[in-house]
Structure 1
Amino acid sequence: MLMSLEISNYAIVSDLVIDWNKGMTSITGETGAGKSIAIDALSLCLGERADAHSIRPGCDKAEIAACFDVSLLPRAQNYLKEHLLESDDEECILRRVISKNGRSKNYINGASVTAAQLKELGQLLVAIHGQHAHQLLLKNDHQLELLDAYAGHEQLMKAVKHQYQQVQSITKEIAILQEEQAQLSAQKQLLEYQVAELDEFALGENEFEEIENEHSKLSHSQTIQESCQRELQALYESDDLTVLSLLQHATSQFYELSSYDPSLEAIASMLQDASVQVEEASREIRRYSNNLDQDPERLEELDTRLAKAMDLARKHQVRPEALYDLHSTLANQLNGLTANSERLQVLEIELQKAKEIYFDEADALSTSRKTASEALNSLITQSMAGLSMANGKFAIALGRKVNNKPSANGMDEIEFLVCTNPGQPMQALAKVASGGELSRISLAIQVIIAQKVTTPTLIFDEVDVGISGPTAAAVGKLLRQLGTSTQVICVTHLPQVASCGHNQFYVSKQSDGTTTHTSMQILDEHGRVNEIARLLGGDVISETTKASAKELLSFH
């Protein structure tokens, strides 16, 4: 429950500290005094959109802090624990600071959080019903939200939403693949031709470089052979002087000279090594020359393959060395198109299965909604009778969506129907109910939903607009009864409603001609009599209105 609310420099409030109690608390005050300011400030503390214009004129920032007792709120405790925001005691403090630049800082138990986190936690702490709630009642999506809140089938709704997301995910993937196929279909024929041509040529990895090397060798084989023979003669095989014979002679000379100068022995050794190297090189030349192949047919084959490779390279505007990689790339693109087709077939099957599961989940949700609607019809009809609509009837019409198209909240269409006078048919709420009737029906629904959902703190901000007399008394009793199990805060202008509160605050406004201040104070028994009397008779409080006020208060 809400324990305290501190407001600083917000709107026409400079500093305000409010301690709240259990039960039903009424908030009253003069017109224009700002009876709803505390509720508006609390809404900001619960994550509603911040506005720099809400800062009190002449101030740099506004600050609101709300303290809640969460000892009996396991869902709120779990949220705090999951987000590492729990405190050492059973209290939870929400604080918001709004700066002149429009930015805000948000805190839960002293830890910095986002406004979205304030809102998530706030929904577990407080439910605020504004004076325009009855207008929302005319919207079908809001009607469905109310029915679901009463039914309490969160798991069914989560299952439907999850399966809907599965259907949407598969549908999206199918659309992407179909779009890709549409874009590439024009290229498929060309890809097939290109890949087939490169398949037929079948150039291996690094083959072009190997062909070039072999072609160069074969095309110059005659020159190589002649050079090898000529150099072999000069090095080793000539009957005249050869390189080898000259080296051998020099080696012998230097060995002889080393007997006179030992340092020359190193030269003799080097010349001997050179002789060995020349002799070895000559044997290699002879072996190479004997094995050198001059194959005109092979050379012609290489000429043809080189020419084909050069032709394909020009055709695809790449270097011949890149033909192998190009072939792989084009083949992968073509395989990708084929894989997409196969993936599409798989996805179509998956989509059909996902839809079947979705419709099963949606049917289960529809059944739960139908059961809840029957119970809600009876409760709201009974409540209407207690709100001066004795002959009123309420019914919820549920039907299947015409297009049978999946949605995140199921397959149901909803319409709130009402009959306010005997003999009239049930018709859509928007067509039949007057403003006052709509307000009463809305209040009845909100109270019934609140009892089922068991929100720890309920705030009703002038939801009794458009009612008076006995109906107002019935509304007050309804709210007081709700206050026995839930903390209820009600901003009202009706004495019949205000007198039903277990506690009552009075909001007033003071001005010194330069600045304006709003204050809020708890009323004792004497103060409540005077305030109820003011609500009954206006600014002039007479003994008669005081007596009437005491009588109203004595009923509770």
Structure 2
Amino acid sequence: MLTNLAIRDVVLIEALELDFGDGLAALTGETGAGKSILLDALGLALGARADSGLVRQGAGQAAVTAGFDLPSGHPAFATLDEAGLAVEPGEALTIRRIVKADGGSRAWVNDQPASAGLLRELGQRLVEIHGQHDDRGLLDARGHRDLLDAFGRLDRAAVATAFRAWKAAAEAHADAEAALDTAQRDQDYLTHAVDELTRFGPEPGEEAILSERRAGMQKGARLAEDLALVNEHLDGSDGALAQLRQAARRLDRLGAEHPLLAEALAALDRAVIEAGEAEEKLGLAGDALAFDPARLEADETRLFELRALARKHRVQPDELAALAADLAGRLAAIEAGGEGLAALAAAEASARAAYLDAAATLSAGRELAAARLDAAVAAELAPLKLDAARFRTRIEPLPDTGWGAAGQDRVEFLISTNPGAPFAPLAKIASGGELSRFILALKVALAEEGGAATMIFDEIDRGVGGAVASAIGERLARLATRAQILVVTHSPQVAARAARQFLIAKAHDGHVTRTSVHALAPAERHEEIARMLSGAEVTDEARAQARRLLEVA
């Protein structure tokens, strides 16, 4: 609620500080005393256009500070959080705004710079101002559905859940359909690629194996001729090894003739053994380096094809096997895509049907709630001198494109001010005084569901008196049990219903005209209400009537 309001140098107000409490507070005073200045000042704090004409003559700037005490779950805190302002939920809010005489304005929320746009957003959540030119609140049809649902205690959670499930199923179906369309455009390519890769049959690591084997066979081809010549020198009857053996046999017969011959024979035996080992190694090497020209050609052909296939598909040779599996999977998905789409379409249809059922249940609840609301508002109209008027809650189905988490209905509050007159939106038919009283009737009937914590009614009693004014005061007091209500009034019946009363007065000292506001003590309230009853001269009869009004309240 609004806890305090400080105003400095705004039009006729030099300096003013007001403290408000909960319940109903009345702002009274003679016509022209400056009651509208208070509302203009509060509007400035709540984001209204910064008009340098509001700056008091001779002052450099005007300043307004409004304080609010709100529960931690109040939507204003979410607005501040979205704007990036560091305000803890449940923390008191202080909104300050200055307007310079030469133009321009600045604003702060809890000493943090804020824009006028943010102040306007906060203002819509903090205060409702209902007056002669009200264009927000109950006159905005966009909020009527929420108000009706709150009045009827209708739970939209099931509809919201069903709507999200339907949209998720529809999105999954659409995504799969788009993916299948794209895949089907690639089906010829996939069929050819899978067939080509399947026939080739690449294996992971195959390139390294082929490359190594090819290199070995190429080396054998280069060494084969040299190895053959070496074998010719060693092998055969005329080869070096045969010659060594023959020499060893001859020397064996002569070895006993001299010690040196024995030593020569031993050396020659060792040479024969080494030459034999060399012959064996050469044989093994020849076997290792042996190659089949046909095999070499086949390995080279497959290696070149493997690398060409990898370049074609822009992958590494070792990735071809995985690519073949992936492409085969995509092809299989296309071939089975019809079945998958059918399942997703069935899921979407089921989710849509569930949403329609939930929305139909909500719509039926709205019809019942609308009937109760129409009756409740009708009961409030006659005492407010609107007995010829009729109220109707119109519920219309939205087109498919308008369906959402809140259902399928458009809700709007309509009135007819005279018998036989057509129903139309409130703002298009009701006059200023009628409009304020219609809003009051609606507020009372709605039990203030979905409204701001602070409401201001500006001269809601204009043009009425007596029993109607008493009815207005009684309903404002009833509404004030659920919200903070400030009412600018000329009606003593309304003022008497207030828990507290502020007197707005204008004084001129011969040089400067100033507007002042102060809270009235009980005796002062009695005198002010008597003045409101009698006019310029307060009579004893007016004082007695004022006493009776205060006692009844």
State how far apart, in whole Å, the 1-side matches of 2:389 and 2:316 are.
Answer: 88
Question: Residue 65 of structure 1: SS of its match in structure 2?
Answer: strand
Counterpart residue number, 1:36: 39
State how far apart, in whole Å, the 1-side matches of 2:512 and 2:235 are.
Answer: 121
Question: Residue 394 of structure 1: SS of its match in structure 2?
Answer: strand
Counterpart residue number, 1:468: 464
Counterpart residue number, 1:5: 4
Q: CA RMSD in A?
A: 5.4
State how far apart, in whole Å, the 2-side matches of 1:502 and 1:336 are.
Answer: 75
Question: Residue 142 of structure 1: SS of its match in structure 2?
Answer: helix
State how far apart, in whole Å, the 2-side matches of 1:524 and 1:309 are.
Answer: 101
Give the TM-score normalised by the residue count of structure 2: 0.69
Instruction: Please list the CA deviations of residues 379-438 of structure 1 after superposition, one character each: whole Å capped at 9, or x if unmatched.
Output: 11110111112243333243444549632211223343444444x276344598432444
State how far apart, in whole Å, the 2-side matches of 1:279 and 1:106 are.
Answer: 104
Matched, 1:24 2:27: no
Q: CA 1:494–1:186 in structure 2 vs 1: closer, same or farther (change >3 Å)? A: farther
Counterpart residue number, 2:195: 196
Question: Residue 521 of structure 1: SS of its match in structure 2?
Answer: strand
Q: CA 1:511–1:396 in structure 2 vs 1: closer, same or farther (change >3 Å)? A: same
Residue among 406, 409, 422 paired with 2:406: 409
Amino acid at match of 1:379: A
Moved more, 232-241 or 313-322: 232-241
Q: CA 1:466–1:234 in structure 2 vs 1: closer, same or farther (change >3 Å)? A: farther
Amino acid at match of 1:386: P
- CA drift of 1:359 comes to 2.4
CA contact 2:427–2:435 (8 Å) conserved in 1: no
Question: Residue 364 of structure 1: SS of its match in structure 2?
Answer: helix
State how far apart, in whole Å, the 2-side matches of 1:21 and 1:192 are.
Answer: 80
Matched, 1:209 2:208: yes
State how far apart, in whole Å, the 2-side matches of 1:11 and 1:22 are.
Answer: 26
State how far apart, in whole Å, the 1-side matches of 2:275 and 2:547 are.
Answer: 130
CA contact 2:384–2:437 (8 Å) conserved in 1: yes
Q: CA 1:111–1:32 in structure 2 vs 1: closer, same or farther (change >3 Å)? A: closer
Counterpart residue number, 1:142: 143
Counterpart residue number, 1:355: 352
Matches within 5 A, 1:54-65: 58=60, 63-65=65-67
Matches within 5 A, 1:447-486: 447-450=444-447, 453=449, 457-462=453-458, 464=460, 467-470=463-466, 471-483=468-480, 486=483
Amino acid at match of 1:201: F
Amino acid at match of 1:387: L
State how far apart, in whole Å, the 2-side matches of 1:122 and 1:454 are.
Answer: 15
Amino acid at match of 1:65: G
State how far apart, in whole Å, the 2-side matches of 1:227 and 1:515 are.
Answer: 126
Q: CA 1:534–1:241 in structure 2 vs 1: closer, same or farther (change >3 Å)? A: farther
Residue among 527, 531, 542 paired with 2:536: 542
Return 5+ residue gaps in structure 1 as ranges: 246-275
Question: Residue 128 of structure 1: SS of its match in structure 2?
Answer: strand
- CA drift of 1:144 comes to 1.6
- CA drift of 1:543 comes to 1.0
Amino acid at match of 1:171: A
Amino acid at match of 2:472: V
Amino acid at match of 1:206: G
Matched, 1:489 2:489: no
State how far apart, in whole Å, the 1-side matches of 2:226 and 2:62 are.
Answer: 98
Give the TM-score normalised by the residue count of structure 1: 0.69
State how far apart, in whole Å, the 2-side matches of 1:338 and 1:49 are.
Answer: 64
Q: CA 1:10–1:234 in structure 2 vs 1: closer, same or farther (change >3 Å)? A: farther
Return 5+ residue gaps in structure 2 as ranges: 246-272
Counterpart residue number, 1:551: 545
Instruction: Please list the CA deviations of residues 108-157 of structure 1 after superposition, one character each: whole Å capped at 9, or x if unmatched.
Output: xx999999999999999x6624335576645543322221221233xx12
Instruction: Please list the CA deviations of residues 255-300 of structure 1 after superposition, one character each: whole Å capped at 9, or x if unmatched.
Output: xxxxxxxxxxxxxxxxxxxxx9999887555324235443344334
Question: Residue 36 of structure 1: SS of its match in structure 2?
Answer: helix
Matched, 1:382 2:379: yes
Instruction: Please list the CA deviations of residues 496-521 of structure 1 after superposition, one character each: whole Å capped at 9, or x if unmatched.
Output: 53343231113457899999986532
Q: CA 1:441–1:304 in structure 2 vs 1: closer, same or farther (change >3 Å)? A: same
Amino acid at match of 2:27: I
State how far apart, in whole Å, the 1-side matches of 2:36 and 2:119 are.
Answer: 28
